[in-house]
């Protein structure tokens, strides 16, 4: 569960840089936080329990984080680092069946990303939606590249200038991002209603294809 990444000069609550022992403690605290986030509601996560689970004391927690929110923020930053993988897919081919395949891959990858970081991303989005700047910033960092890529592709793929007049690339890209995000957060609740993940991916992919290319999605069978 511990995500190693190029953390350069992490810092104490009082600004002092962290040695190896401290780094390790910090990691344990973050991991404990995810676990709790995964298994219970944000509202009743306590510093005491994070500390307990990390095998340390509450006082130690405050050495590294201002509060639970800040720990969560760090986790959200780690999640944002994983996005680029999804990104590359957008630059694939968008012609005909190939395009549909690209569409499907993106949708699938995005949902997988969400399934992996679900709890953290939910909290991130809530905090961002509630207006917390720090969280809006991480979300932008994660989503903007996707927005940009989509917008670029949309501009490039629209059939002709007449139709393009109606399409605002950024707005359309934002719509796609919104669609992906909500669907990813959502999909498990739909299966009981008789909508499989596959159905969802397929239909989401069709929408994506049509929005990017401005053309109707080709039929699946030939």
Partner DNA sequence: CTGATTGCTGATACAGCGTCAGATTTCGCT
Partner DNA sequence: AGCGAAATCTGACGCTGTATCAGCAATCAG
Residues at the interface with a second copy (CB under 8 A): 41-43, 68-69, 119, 122-123, 126-130, 132, 136, 162-163, 165-168, 170-172, 174-175, 178-179, 181-183, 185-186, 189-190, 193-195, 199-200, 202-204, 206-207, 210-211, 214-217, 219-221
From residue 183, give the alpha-carbon distance in Å to each of 67, 84, 93, 178, 210.
30, 20, 24, 8, 17
What the block records as the tokens of 142 is 């994660």
Tell me if 37 sits within 8 A of 127, measured CB to CB: no
Of the two residues 34 and 90, which places its CB atom closer to DNA in the complex? 34
How many Å apart are CA 24 and CA 78, to the nearest integer? 16
Per-position x/- string for 39-68, each x denoting binding to DNA as judged by CB under 7 A, each - no binding: -------xxxx------xxxxx-xx---xx
CB of 126 to DNA, least distance (A): 18
How many Å apart are CA 183 and CA 107, to the nearest integer? 9
Of the two residues 132 and 155, which places its CB atom closer to a second copy in the complex? 132
175 binds, among DNA, a second copy, none (CB under 5 to 8 A by kind): a second copy
How many Å apart are CA 16 and CA 26, to the nearest integer? 14
Of the two residues 9 and 219, which places its CB atom closer to a second copy in the complex? 219
- The closest alpha carbon to 78, from 17, 37, 32, 124, belongs to 124
CB of 84 to a second copy, least distance (A): 20
């Amino acid at each position: 569960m511990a995500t190693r990444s190029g953390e350069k000069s992490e810092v104490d609550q009082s600004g002092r840089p962290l040695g190896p022992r401290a780094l390790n403690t910090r990691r344990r605290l973050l991991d404990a936080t995810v676990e709790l986030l995964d298994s219970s509601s944000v509202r009743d996560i306590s510093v005491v329990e994070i500390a307990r689970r990390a095998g340390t004391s509450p006082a130690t927690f405050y050495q590294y984080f201002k509060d639970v929110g800040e720990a969560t923020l760090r986790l959200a930053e780690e999640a944002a680092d994983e996005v680029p993988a999804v990104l590359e897919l957008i630059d694939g081919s968008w012609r005909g069946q190939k395009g549909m395949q690209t569409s499907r891959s993106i949708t699938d990858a995005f949902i997988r990303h969400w399934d992996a970081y679900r709890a953290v991303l939910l909290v991130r989005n809530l905090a961002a939606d509630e207006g917390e700047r720090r969280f809006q910033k991480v979300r932008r960092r994660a989503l903007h590249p996707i927005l940009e890529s989509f917008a670029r592709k949309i501009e490039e793929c629209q059939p002709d200038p007449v139709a393009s007049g109606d399409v605002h690339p950024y707005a359309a890209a934002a719509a796609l991002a919104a669609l992906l995000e909500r669907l990813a957060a959502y999909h498990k609740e739909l299966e009981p209603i008789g909508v499989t993940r596959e159905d969802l991916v397929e239909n989401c992919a069709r929408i994506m294809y049509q929005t990017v290319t401005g053309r109707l999605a080709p039929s699946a069978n030939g």
